Amino acid sequence: MNLEIINVNINKKINKSSYPIFVGNNLLIQAGELLKKYINNKKLIVIHDNFFSINKSTNSHFDLFIQSIKKEATSVNLIAISGGDKTKTMSQLTNILESVLSFDIDRDTLLIAFGGGVVGDIAGFASSILLRGIDFIQIPTTLLSQVDSSVGGKTGVNGSLGKNLIGTFHQPLAVIADTSILKTLPRRELRAGFAEVIKYGLIKDKNFFIWLEHNFEKILNLNDISLNKVIITSCSIKSDIIQDDEKEIGKRALLNLGHTFGHAIESIGNYDKKIIHGEAVAIGICMAFSFSKKLGFCLESEVERVKALFKKSGLPTAIKDMPNLLFSSDEMFDKFKYDKKIRNNKLTFILNNKIGESFIKKDVNTEIIKNFLTEEI
């Protein structure tokens, strides 16, 4: 077990909103020890992706985790849910709430989210509203959730009009990112998570982006040393950005590079397997760089360099790369009105001057946006 710890300090204070991210391989078997001070003989409710109940190649990781935390808990109850954005709904949230309440919980009960980003988002949301708020811990099991969604306290579900429109900010007590469980991921899911990794280099660390250009094959082949660096660097960048902007009033919006376009694509696709989140983000980032070039902020060579890394990693770079997705530029523009970065009815985009330098652009001319979408679609 090689273990590294990143400390997330919200508002730069050591308080209840500060927490550790444990990063390494084969950590789940040590989970009880790592989380001992948080479990502390409490009643635990583990909300997990049912993938770990029915898939023999993955349930050993889950079983070892459960055996480990049982040693420190008064009791452990399990709730299996379906993963995937299609099930990230108010209906599933209600079912989870009723199931948790059936275990006679109190405010000392601890929820644990064991799964990918959807499980973490919906379990975190549940914990934030149960009994007006109970604690939870994140055990992310996908690359995407380990480098992004498990850290930062965003929780929620999708609404009928768009992605993540209903939710809260609720920080976990701790996060365990065990790289060994990534070996259970389908290749498509692994590549999708890598899109969020690339995002961090593009936002504020060109040297990290250059390293990714040279090491993407090692990462996608699950080299332990490379995976550790990816998770530690990504989470450190995110922690640095959110530490004094927990609720996305300012610079935290930079973490949404590519997501204005990407969320619109997902929503139009109705959250089915035609396109998954990381693929939509990859396309969205490429569109954001192309839009930056159109507005005169970055060079064509930068756009092509970004697209090249996504292509080499097996990710889409344009909507035309996903032939099962058919929609008009007007449909996509209509989805922008539900973007959470909108202020005073004005669209906000995350754009780039160059690789490693993102910025927030407010009040972009509507006609320019529409013309750009027509060119892209």
For residue 334 the two structure tokens come to 């209509």
Q: Is 154 a catalytic residue?
A: yes
User: Which residues, including other chains, have CB under 8 Å from residue 104's CB and lie 6 or more apart?
Assistant: none
Q: How confident is the model at residue 16 (pLDDT cuts 50, 70, 90)?
A: low
Phi, psi of 188 (to 5 degrees): -60, -40
Q: Is 256 a catalytic residue?
A: yes
Q: Evaluate whether 198 touches 209 at the Cβ level (below 8 Å).
A: yes
136, 181, 194, 223 from 175: Cα distances, Å: 10, 14, 19, 21
Q: What is the dihedral of CA 254, 86, 83, 114, to 10 degrees?
A: 40
Q: How confident is the model at residue 251 (pLDDT cuts 50, 70, 90)?
A: very high
Q: Is 266 a catalytic residue?
A: no
Q: Is 259 a catalytic residue?
A: yes
Burial of 187 (0-12, 13-18, 19+ CB in 10 A): exposed
Count Cα neighbours of 53 within 13 Å in the Cβ-side half-sphere. 12
In tens, the pLDDT along 122-132 reads 999 999 999 99
pLDDT value for 273: 84
Q: What angle do CA 227, 277, 307 make, to 5 degrees?
A: 70
pLDDT value for 54: 60
Q: Is 214 a catalytic residue?
A: no
**Rounded mean pLDDT of 303-332?**
95
Q: Is the pLDDT of residue 345 over 80?
A: no
Name the nearest CA neighbour of 155 among 117, 191, 183, 186: 117
Given the residues 170, 191, 252, 293, select the one marked as catalytic: 252
Q: Evaluate whether 162 touches 335 at the Cβ level (below 8 Å).
A: yes
For residue 352 the two structure tokens come to 């780039």
Q: Rounded to an integer, what distance in angstroms lies between the CA atom of residue 248 and that of residue 342? A: 12
pLDDT value for 337: 87
Q: Is the pLDDT of residue 362 over 60?
A: yes
Q: Rounded to an integer, what distance in angstroms lies between the CA atom of residue 136 and that of residue 109? A: 9
Average pLDDT, the chain: 94
Given the residues 48, 277, 335, 340, select the one marked as catalytic: 277
Bin 248: left if φ > 0, else alpha if -120 < ψ < 50, else beta.
Answer: left
Q: Evaluate whether 171 touches 153 at the Cβ level (below 8 Å).
A: yes
pLDDT value for 265: 95
Given the residues 25, 158, 228, 256, select the one marked as catalytic: 256
Q: Is 238 a catalytic residue?
A: yes
Given the residues 25, 163, 199, 248, select the one marked as catalytic: 248
Q: How confident is the model at residue 17 (pLDDT cuts 50, 70, 90)?
A: low
Q: Is the pLDDT of residue 1 over 80?
A: no
Given the residues 48, 263, 293, 307, select the one marked as catalytic: 263
110-115 and 75-81 as β-strands: parallel, antiparallel, unpaired?
unpaired
Given the residues 170, 238, 293, 340, select the one marked as catalytic: 238
DSSP string, 67-126: HHHHTT-SEEEEEEE--SGGG-SHHHHHHHHHHHHTT---TT-EEEEEESHHHHHHHHHH
**Rounded mean pLDDT of 317-337?**
92
Give the domains, in start order, of the chain with CATH numbers.
3-184 (3.40.50.1970), 187-376 (1.20.1090.10)
pLDDT value for 278: 97
Given the residues 48, 154, 191, 307, select the one marked as catalytic: 154
Q: Rounded to an integer, what distance in angstroms lies between the CA atom of residue 266 and that of residue 38? A: 36
pLDDT value for 342: 80
pTM: 0.95
Given the residues 56, 132, 187, 214, select the one marked as catalytic: 132
Q: Is 4 a catalytic residue?
A: no
In tens, the pLDDT along 52-94 reads 766 555 568 999 999 999 999 999 999 999 988 888 999 999 9
Q: Is the pLDDT of residue 324 over 70?
A: yes
Q: Is 132 a catalytic residue?
A: yes
**Given the structure tokens 């040279």, which residue do they identify?**
214
Q: Rounded to an integer, what distance in angstroms lies between the CA atom of residue 31 and that of residue 48? A: 15
Q: Is the pLDDT of residue 229 over 70?
A: yes
pLDDT value for 53: 67
Q: What angle do CA 32, 42, 111 make, to 5 degrees?
A: 80
Rounded to whole angstroms, the maximal C-alpha distance in the chain is 61
